[in-house]
Amino acid sequence: MNFELTVLPVADISGELEVVIVVDGNLKHCFIHDKKLLKKAGFSCEQDETCLLVEKNRLYVGASSLKGADIRRAAANVMKALLGTKYKSLKVATYTNKGCTYTLRAMVEGFILGAYTFETYKSKKNECPIKHISLSLEEYNGLEIDIEKASLVIHKAQITADATNFTRDIVNTTPDDCYPAVMASIAEGMAENTGLSCKILKPKALKKEKMETLLAVARASRHTPRVIHLTHIPKKAKCVVTLVGKGLTYDSGGLSLKPADYMVTMKSDKSGGSAVLGIMKAVAELNLPIEVHGFVGAVENMIGGDAYKPDDVLVAKNGKTIEIRNTDAEGRLVLADTLCYAQQEVKSDYLFDFATLTGACVVGVGHYTSGVMGNSEKIKSLVVKEAKNSGELATALDFNPYLKKTIKSEIADVCNISNTRYGGAITAGQFLSEFIDKEHTDKWAHIDIAGPAFVEHAWGENPHGASGAGVRMMVKLIEKLAKDESLH
């Protein structure tokens, strides 16, 4: 989809269909031409409601306010409403709130995110028909933003939304089409296109690195594991960020096999790793002045004669011993070794991990929100704030010493599950904290994206299936680090 920016009024530019965003339920605005027709059609200007007036070549959409989240959703719903039509080009006026650019960014993101469809396995494709969008700066205070600033904002929005869609594609791909070696070649291909460097660790190298917990989880699969390391080093880096992602290309639960209903959708257990790939793509394309490293532990958790077992004791890369009591709590084992490896390779100012780690997080905060954990209040609030600024939902889940006791083991240093039914998202986070070095203790946040990463219905600007959770929040956060000197 390409965007064209102009200072001409909407009436003077080409575009088969004009999109009009009606903000605040207000049909009285003088710029709305078709008041009578809209009333007749029963258009009540509600958020996301659309009304296509074919003969007028106009599509109206409601937005509750000029807030980024509302405009993004409205723009996404425009694209959804146009699925199945033959329109190829749109024109739309830009909106701004006192010269701020976030409305413009949200609108462009919304168009790209809302146009996403996953058609790989459909014989009959139903892709979004829109190829071209002209944006006019003339109306609704748009001229308060100069054209260069506006085109930079559009460029950023395009990169962020395209990276989100790139992540969605990886997550939606079936486990037999996207297994660890495939994830590694996706990373290599993306690195080649964007100028990132990319190192892939295969089983021999993983053995040499003593990543025995990761290897144990991978053992029963015919697909051998990979650890991916992507690097972005700009000329004058302001600080160093490390990202680590859980890349379970399939999670059957292992010998602690998942019930049939719970196993469906577990292709999405690679969402954390896929988010890391998407974030790295965006960071490279935006050429952000931050050194960023992306690590992915790509593994398949299966059953078989060689499977790791409840009762095993595994030794992680940092030497800690882990009593296995449930092979379905595998993500934390893969992350333990990948986190240790990442910290050995890079001393960073910020360390973030992304994982569809626990069903408990979904129970706790619902499908749409990520849980943010860690030892530092400051880092947790930074993540939550930037997630919200980016259009994602996130909330902090605080650690406490009482829950920490529940992952104690009688026979090893730590147990891979807790001895209580409650607080599972937090105890999983506290398990990970065992694998964070002293020097990174207050630099780390764990982001459990199990809720929003994959939802079997469309919501907001997200489609059925993968949402690309984690990408927008982290791109926004790294952009913030690039701007705000007080954070270095």
Binding segment for Zn ion among 20-28, 183-191, 196-204, 265-273 (CB under 5 A)? 265-273
Binding segment for Zn ion among 23-31, 82-90, 250-258, 404-412 (CB under 5 A)? 250-258
Q: Tell me, yes or no, if 226 is annotated catalytic.
A: no
Structure tokens given for 262:
């719970």
- Judged by CB under 6 A, does residue 359 bind ligand BES? yes
DSSP 277: H
Structure tokens given for 236:
């004058």
Position closest to ligand BES via CB: 359
- Minimum CB separation of residue 474 from ligand BES in Å reads 19
Q: How many whole angstroms separate alpha carbon 311 and alpha carbon 339? A: 24
- Judged by CB under 6 A, does residue 356 bind ligand BES? yes
Q: Which of 18, 70, 251, 285 binds Zn ion (CB under 5 A)?
A: 251
Binding segment for Zn ion among 4-12, 53-61, 81-89, 241-249 (CB under 5 A)? 241-249
Q: Find how far residue 137's CA is from the centre of its chain.
A: 30
Between strands 444-448 and 350-355, the pairing is parallel
Contacts to ligand BES from residues 91-130, by CB under 6 A: none
Whole-Å CA distances, 342 to 211, 227, 231, 422: 12, 10, 12, 30
Counting Cα atoms < 13 Å in the Cβ hemisphere of 42 gives 0
- Minimum CB separation of residue 451 from ligand BES in Å reads 8
Identify what 478 binds: ligand BES, Zn ion, none; CB under 5 to 8 Å per kind. Answer: none
- Minimum CB separation of residue 94 from ligand BES in Å reads 38
- Judged by CB under 6 A, does residue 371 bind ligand BES? no
Q: Tell me, yes or no, if 258 is annotated catalytic.
A: yes
- Judged by CB under 6 A, does residue 417 bind ligand BES? yes
Q: Which of 70, 209, 291, 328 binds Zn ion (CB under 5 A)?
A: 328
Size of the site for ligand BES (CB under 6 A): 16
Cα-Cα end-to-end distance for the chain: 36
448-478 burial, b at 16+ Cβ within 10 Å, e below that, comes to bbbbbbbbeeeebbbbebbbbbbbbbbbbbb
Q: Which of 294, 331, 465, 468 binds ligand BES (CB under 6 A)?
A: 331
Report whether 96 contacts 58 (CB < 8 A): no
- Judged by CB under 6 A, does residue 269 bind ligand BES? yes
- Judged by CB under 5 A, does residue 297 bind Zn ion? no
Structure tokens given for 13:
């530019």
Structure tokens given for 180:
């660890």
DSSP 459: B
- DSSP string of 319-376, one letter each residue: S-EEE-S-TT--HHHHHHHHHHHHHHH---SEEEEEE---HHHHHHH-TTEEEEEES-
- Minimum CB separation of residue 355 from Zn ion in Å reads 8
Q: Which of 34, 212, 323, 328 binds ligand BES (CB under 6 A)?
A: 328
Q: Which of 199, 258, 404, 480 does the annotation list as catalytic?
A: 258
Size of the site for Zn ion (CB under 5 A): 6
Q: CA angle, corner 109, sides to 106 and 112, nearest 5? A: 150
- Judged by CB under 5 A, does residue 353 bind Zn ion? no
Treating both helix axes as pointing N-terminal to C-terminal, what angle do 271-286 and 471-483 enclose, rounded to 10 degrees? 40
- Judged by CB under 6 A, does residue 285 bind ligand BES? no
Q: Which of 226, 332, 472, 476 does the annotation list as catalytic?
A: 332
Instruction: Point out which residues bind ligand BES (CB under 6 A).
Output: 251, 269, 326, 328-331, 356-360, 362, 417, 424, 450
Catalytic residues: 258, 332
